[in-house]
Amino acid sequence: MVYHIMKKGMILPPEVFAFKLLKRAKITNDERLLVLTGMDYSKRNTLFEQAKKSLTKFKGESSACAGMTQNTQPAVKLETAFPAETHSPLY
């Protein structure tokens, strides 16, 4: 739909693109609310970029916008808590 709008020469504001991104991100309502808390609504001209950042922050690499940004990092780094080779069992 966005492609068709751009093809017709119409320009939509960034806030429309931001909310379209969230609508099509295939996230739950609770996840959407978390993403919305990470956005600063006073800076309306950067709302789309903020939506992408916030979605990546809360959803990590599995988010719909992970391919849109170049420097994406996983939201949570997985590490072993106690590697077996460095700790002996308690007797």
Provide the residue-wise pLDDT of the chain in tens; the chain has 91 residues: 555 666 677 777 888 888 888 888 888 888 899 899 989 989 888 898 999 999 988 887 655 454 444 455 555 666 666 656 665 666 5
- pTM for the full model? 0.56
User: Residue 8 is encoded by which pair of tokens?
Assistant: 């017709």
**68 vs 50: CA distance, rounded Å:** 12
Q: Hey, CA dihedral for 25, 27, 31, 32, is it positive or negative?
A: positive
Q: Where are the alpha helices (DSSP H) in 8-76?
A: 14-23, 29-37, 47-59
